[in-house]
Amino acid sequence: MEFKRVVVTGMGTINPLGKNIDEYWENLKNGVSGAAPITRFDASNYKTQFACEVKDYKPTDYFDRKDARKYDLYTQFALIASNQALKNSKLDVEAVNKDRVGVILGVGIGGLETFYNEARSLKEEAPKFSPFFIPKMIANIAGGLLAIEHGFRGPNFTTVTACASATHAIIEGLTQIRLGKADVIVTGGSEAAINEAGVCGFNSMRAISTRNDDPKTASRPFDKDRDGFVMGEGSGALILEEYEHAVKRGATIYAELVGGGMNCDAYHMTAPHPDGEGAAAVMRQAIEDAGLQIEDVDYVNVHGTSTGLGDIAEPKALARLFGEHVYNLSISSTKSMTGHLLGAAGAVEAIASILALNNGVVPPTINQFELDPDVDEKLDFTFNKAKERDIKVALSNTFGFGGHNGTVLFKKLDN
């Protein structure tokens, strides 16, 4: 069968660099770090005392008090970003065929804060849980609530594949529209794990940075002195739309989503394959899915978490796949600014890739002081300062615990 074409007609975000797309892009291209001391709880006795929080966030700026109490923070972020994206798309949500509008969101953990807060009552003599405990906590509730709000009756499910969750959600949205099962999919991801349980858990794994004396430079992908990732939070949302449906209503088209790849390293619970075999394979899968050649790719938004093993494996994967063309690529890790948004990472980084493509600007990888000697110094990581470049094809990678890999490919629209 002939696949339908899929385009991006709306975007929305709330993340450590901004509460909307314009703020996010301004801070991305200017190399602003979102890291700062944790404000949400007293972290003074923790190994890590900083993170990339959404700044000055007040739930009542977006929800009435009753709803704010019923929604976990990850759900709040998801609804904010998704409704921004719908508004940005100018989709008439009342006139559209709601049987053909779906919601596919990704989350790595879900309502961790709700679970932690409620579970603390178990220490009491007569523990008492909120009646909203289960619906607040479960990972699929954000997509369900968005559909309820707008009456979207199309495909609706949640992908949970650790840090690849949002990328997998985007690919599933691509598939639903390609196969003619939906005209519009609201997709992306959300995460809100900056709380006592989240920080303690990642500290115990020795996965996150403990550079408490200098948070803003703590996320330093590919740097010799990196000491772990920096936790981030927030949400990113995309409106995917069947091409003819978008053209018929005169939608603004930001990019065409031309390919996606999903596979598994099948190697280790938390470590990537050291030679980047799975990462190289999933990028190849996405490029082949798009019907493109490796030489067509201009920009890669890498997973680039600022961890010891991942930052070595991914450049090896790029070299394995792209050969000599790897030196023609512009590469950047926007996690150096946003921190790692876990299950939402693929969404905010897909948006960064689309914005780079639309604006002809490669966002930087900040906090580069001394390159790790195991990383090829000839690669163009766009260190410390954004640069202008005509980008026709942008690729975005995310890799998650369990060996889950996801890659999406965006292209400037060919009419």
Active site residues: 163, 303, 340
What is the secondary structure of 347-361 as a DSSP string? HHHHHHHHHHHHHTE
Beta strands in 63-133 (DSSP E): 101-106
- Tell me, what DSSP letter sits at residue 144? H
* Ramachandran category for residue 127: left, alpha or beta (phi over 0 → left; psi -120 to 50 → alpha): beta
Distances (CA, A) of 76 to 35, 63, 80: 21, 8, 6
Alpha-helical (H) ranges within 125-194 are 133-137, 141-150, 165-178
Cβ neighbours for 58, distance < 8 A, ≥ 6 positions apart: none
- Return the closest-CA partner of residue 38 out of 160, 203, 236: 203
- Sign (positive or negative) of CA dihedral 186, 163, 338, 374: negative
Contact predicate 178/164, CB 8 Å? no
- Tell me, what DSSP letter sits at residue 7? E
Cβ neighbours for 392, distance < 8 A, ≥ 6 positions apart: 296, 298, 357, 411, 412
Strand, helix or coil for residue 22: helix
First-to-last C-alpha distance (Å) of the chain: 21
